[in-house]
Amino acid sequence: MAAMTDAAENFADRLLGFTIPSRHARGRALRLDRVVDEILSAHDYPAAITHLLGEALVLAALIGGLLKQSGDQLTMQAQTEGGVVKLLVCDYRDGELRGYVDFDSDRLAALGTNPSLYALFGKGYLAITFDMARAGVGEPTRYQGIVPLEGESLAEACQTYFFQSEQVPTLIRVAVRASRDGCVAGGLLIQHLPEGEEGRERLHAQLDHPEWEHVAVLGGSIRHDELLDRELSLEAIIWRLFHEEAEIRVTPGAELVRGCRCSKEHFEQVLSRFTEEERSEMRDETGMIPVDCAFCSKIFPIAL
């Protein structure tokens, strides 16, 4: 295993990338600790929503961590008409994470302590959008894939997205634990990549390719308690899973922070698109227009 330190970093709130060259596989691992608590603290979420948003933040960071250029952004949005969860949105850009859930609290309370994905969303869908900051000539600056919210978790829906929309076999595992001491969430993403040589078979279109089956079996053996163990480094997890491989290359990725990008200037730009009559109806008794950021719960009084 390349570059394994004597005292491996814990890598809390930081991505760890890795590749297995002989298996044409790459992956990302992470454990969210302080940053997930900071994001969750913006709202008093009940346990079921805390778990849901924790999972979504892990997925946004794992998938967003695959982006290569500074300024590229990944946005995940899940919603349905008439569902208990009206909207779930997370995004990732240059290590900055943010997320928010809008839900019907009365209907959620009626579902009990551990509602299923279907109970929360019904026939919902997940949209995954990539915004590329510096696309080349003729390349799209934005592309999106939409998959139904089926299965047991958001992670399953993301696996479906990669195979259906990008034809890349992908394994994703996510674990979340919330307690009085705070929330910790961990995740692992592994993908099979094409060899990229002209005339050779494209590996990424085959879920039953023996190299991918081997990697998927090993990666799928990860336990929830390993992903959540603050004393177990991410390097140690990768070593446990793939130590029999000839070579594993690990690369420290972006540091993860809460990254709400709300600002007075941004809201002024948005409000300037409304007519004076519409803005007049928005003003309060002080003559200001109060704007509430859903991501961080800050209220910005705008004079416009």
pLDDT tens track for 230-252:
999 999 999 999 999 999 999 99
What is the model's pLDDT at position 10?
Answer: 60
Do 275 and 129 fall within a single domain?
no
Q: What's the domain range around 289?
A: 262-304
User: What does DSSP say about strands 257-258 and 249-255: parallel, antiparallel, or unpaired?
Assistant: unpaired
Question: pTM higher than 0.75, yes or no?
Answer: yes
Among residues 185, 195, 118, 108, the alpha carbon closest in space to that of 157 is found at: 118
Q: Is residue 7 part of a domain?
A: no
Which one has a higher pLDDT value, 164 or 51?
51
Indicate the pLDDT class of residue 167, thresholds 50, 70 and 90: confident
Residue 121 lies in a domain: yes
Residue 1 lies in a domain: no
Helices H / strands E in the chain, number of each? 10, 13
Same domain, 238 and 299: no
Domain assignment present for residue 80? The answer is yes
> Residue 132 above 60 pLDDT?
yes
pLDDT for the residue numbered 8? 41
Question: In the block, which residue shows the tokens 């004393």?
Answer: 231
pLDDT tens per residue, range 174-224:
999 988 888 999 999 999 986 544 434 444 455 667 788 999 999 999 999
CATH code (residue 104):
3.55.30.10
Q: Are residues 275 and 250 in the same domain?
A: no
Q: Are residues 80 and 174 in the same domain?
A: yes
Statement to judge: residues 257 and 280 lie in one domain: no
Q: pLDDT-based confidence at 163, cuts 50/70/90?
A: confident
- At 117, is the pLDDT very low, low, confident or very high (cuts 50, 70, 90)? very high
| Residues 58 and 146 grouped into a single domain | yes
Are 132 and 175 in contact by the 8 Å Cβ rule? The answer is no
Average pLDDT (132-146) is: 78
* Residue 194 lies inside a defined structural domain of this protein: yes
Say yes or no: 245 and 273 in one domain: no
The confidence score (pLDDT) of residue 4 equals 42
CA distance 36 to 184: 7
Q: Report pLDDT for 202.
A: 47
Calculate mean pLDDT across residues 81-110. Answer: 94
Strands 257-258 and 96-103, sheet pairing: parallel
Residue 145 belongs to a domain: yes
Confidence grade of residue 7 (pLDDT, cut at 50, 70, 90) = very low
Per-residue pLDDT at 30 exceeds 90: yes
The crossing angle, in degrees rounded to 10, of helices 210-220 and 234-242 is 130
Would you state the pLDDT for residue 6? 35
- 165 and 292 co-located in one domain: no
**Six token digits for residue 297:** 């719960």
**Alpha carbon distance 107, 194 (integer Å):** 46
Residues 257 and 267 in one domain: no
Q: Residues 184, 287: one domain? A: no
Domain total for the chain?
A: 2
Residues 198 and 114 in one domain: yes
* Average pLDDT of the residues of the chain: 87
